[in-house]
Amino acid sequence: MRKFMLQVQVTVDGYMAGPNGEMDWMTMPWSDDLNSYVGASTESVDCIVLGRKLAEGFIPAWESRPEGETKETVDWMNNMPKVVISNSLTESPWENAVVAGGDLTESVNRLKAEPGGDLIAYGGGTLVRDLVSRGLLDDLRLYVNPTAIGAGMPVFPGLQRFRLVTARPFDCGITVLHFESKR
């Protein structure tokens, strides 16, 4: 069975966005050691899972081939098949992306049961909280930025239990906390 992992940037106080969706607190650019870590940790991935709201900005942003990103990263993001979780879309307006609607747990379990490499979710906020609260993730990587914002969109909707695999600081100030689901 495929492993389903989440990679999300957070503040030290546990928010993935500010009260109005602000993300200006993120540490950028990433250091070479963090970029290498991301590359190694996503080698087994062959599908990106996104919520509809994030997909509306994420997919076009990568299609525009943003400056400052390596050709390898841009190509990986654009060529990787994507599944957009949505109950409002019936078909995908994007190349290389399909829509999965209906019950989230059933959709994720169906994806995990398909042959292939691992799945990675990048968000958005509603999808992340739903995946966490339903225990659908096997692997959670929190990219903790050295910033506290005091209020915003939390990653965790309530009590959750995880097993810490590693905690690793990087030159740019971000620390990655790698957890496994504790089921």
Read off the pTM: 0.91
For residue 69, is pLDDT > 90?
A: no
Work out the average pLDDT over 20-36.
92
Distance CA(19)–CA(130), nearest Å, equals 18
Distance CA(56)–CA(67), nearest Å, equals 19
**Residue 167 pLDDT:** 98
- Cis geometry, peptide bond prior to residue 150 (ω within 30 degrees of 0): no
Distance CA(79)–CA(171), nearest Å, equals 29
Work out the average pLDDT over 5-31.
93
For the chain, the farthest-separated pair of C-alpha atoms sits apart, in whole angstroms, at 43
For residue 183, is pLDDT > 70?
A: no
Any idea where the domains of the chain sit in the sequence?
Answer: 4-18+26-181
Task: Look up residue 3 and give its two tokens.
Answer: 């492993």
Q: What is the pLDDT of residues 138-153, one digit of tens each?
A: 999 999 999 999 999 9
For residue 41, is pLDDT > 90?
A: yes
CATH class, 4-18+26-181 region? alpha beta
For residue 175, is pLDDT > 80?
A: yes
What average pLDDT does the structure give for the chain?
93
Work out the average pLDDT over 71-90.
93
Query: What's 153-173 look like in SS3?
Result: EECCCCCCCEEEEEEEECCCC
- Quickly state the pLDDT bin for 70 (edges 50, 70, 90): confident
